[in-house]
Amino acid sequence: MKLYGAIDLHSNNNVTVLIDEQDQVVYQKRLPNDLSLIAQQLSGYQDELQGIVVESTYNWYWLVDGLMDQGHRVHLANTAAIQQYEGLKYTDDHSDARWLAHILRLGVLPQGYIYPKEERAVRDLLRKRGQMVRQRTANLLSLQNLITRNTGSSIRSNRIKTLDAEQVDDLLPNPDLALAVKANLAMINCANGQIEILERTVTERIKLRAAFSFLKTVPGIGQILALTIMLETAEIQRFPTVGDYASYCRCVGEPEAKQRQEERQWQYQERQQGFGLGVCRSGQLRDPIQCEDQKLLSEKEGQEPWCVGA
């Protein structure tokens, strides 16, 4: 007898459901998020299981990896592309899990990509680097606005980066204002240090694969940017067409949740600016996301854009 499984995953528990070829429930239970317990509950059905669907939630890594290590055929559900049956009078976690198993049985499950766990952590280091760059930019802008509000004069970002405690006290005699600026400077310096550590670690952990070697021939793409594009892309064969890849990069319009769209734009599309937009006015080739603070500050100060065509 063929069985089809699905797991409706939550932060600390899940609903696991198994159905047969007639959509009859064979097993259904809410379980704590304990991998050993889940594996033990599924072990008696493993020979008949044709596959298990796991929701693509924020916390799926541990479950998908663990089930795959146990020999299960795991499918990651693209929840954004799944529509519930409109005839249902009510839905809950159990019905959601049954629906996932049902569309798996029918062979119409929209699936997400299961990123190889061997490189996933390194990819996430580069995403963490992007987060650090955004936080550094936010502190630079906050510091600049504070000085402009209280002195009536603007201060360039290059000077901000060289300020020390004594210079801050001279610039802002009010001790409370000076303390606020010093707090921003401390955050900027901390972010700089962490960004440097992350970049060094990534370059030590992984090297650019041959298939992506041509990335560094594109003006504006250096080592870190090339690694970022390579790791975000993973297996290029998973994109059937150029349009699919452009859509993944958020370079084409499509209806999508705003928060997720903005997140992907920061993590990927900003790095993609190297394709034609990564040449500085000085002619130097830089990582666009590394200089995002310069771009924002240049716009605020009424200067020319940081890069050609920006």
Q: Number of C-alpha atoms within 13 angstroms, CB side, residue 134?
A: 13
Confidence label for 164 from pLDDT (cuts 50, 70 and 90): confident
Per-residue confidence at 163, pLDDT binned at 50, 70, 90? confident
Task: Give Rg (Cα) of the chain.
Answer: 25
Which residues is 3 bridged to in the sheet?
49
pLDDT computed for residue 213 by the predictor: 86
More confident residue, 276 or 233: 233
In the chain, the percentage of residues whose pLDDT exceeds 90 is: 55
Percent with pLDDT over 70 in the chain: 79
Please state the rounded mean pLDDT for residues 137-154.
91
Compute how many other C-beta atoms are within 10 angstroms of the C-beta atom of residue 133: 22
Distance CA 217, CA 206 (A): 19
Contacts of 106 (CB under 8 A, 6+ apart): none
d(CA 135, CA 53): 36
Residue 200 has pLDDT above 50, yes or no: yes
* Predicted pLDDT at 278: 40
Map the chain to HEC letters: CCEEEEEEECCCEEEEEEECCCCCEEEEEEEECCHHHHHHHHHCCCCCEEEEEEECCCCCHHHHHHHHHCCCCEEEECHHHCCCCCCCCCCCHHHHHHHHHHHHHHCCCCECCCCCHHHHHHHHHHHHHHHHHHHHHHHHHHHHHHHHHHHCCCCCHHHHCCCCHHHHHHHCCCHHHHHHHHHHHHHHHHHHHHHHHHHHHHHHHCCCCHHHHHHHHCCCCCHHHHHHHHHHHCCHHHCCCHHHHHHHCCCCCCCCCHHHHHHHHHHHHCHHHHHHHCEECCCCECCCCCCHHHHHHHHHCCCCCCECCC
More confident residue, 211 or 124: 124
Average pLDDT, the chain: 83
The answer on pLDDT for 100 being more than 70 is yes
**Distance separating alpha carbons of residues 81 and 103, to the nearest angstrom:** 12
Cα distance between residue 174 and residue 30, in whole Å: 59
Sheet architecture: strand order including 49-55 = 25-32, 13-19, 3-9, 49-55, 74-77
Q: How far apart are CA 199 and CA 144, in angstroms?
A: 27
Q: Output the pLDDT for position 308.
A: 39
Q: For 261-283, what is each residue's pLDDT tens digit?
A: 555 555 554 454 444 344 444 44
Q: Checking DSSP bridges between strand 3-9 and strand 49-55, what pairing results, if any?
A: parallel
pLDDT value at 49 more than 90: yes
pLDDT of residue 82: 84
Which band of pLDDT confidence, cut at 50, 70 and 90, is reported for residue 252? Answer: confident
pLDDT of residue 248: 84
**What is the rounded average pLDDT of the residues 232-242?**
90
State the Cα–Cα distance between residues 209 and 143, nearest whole angstrom. Answer: 41
Interval 42-53 mean pLDDT:
95
CB 114 within 8 A of CB 271: no
pLDDT for the residue 263: 54
Q: How confident is the model at residue 141 (pLDDT cuts 50, 70, 90)?
A: very high
Q: What are phi and psi of 161, to 5 degrees?
A: -70, -15
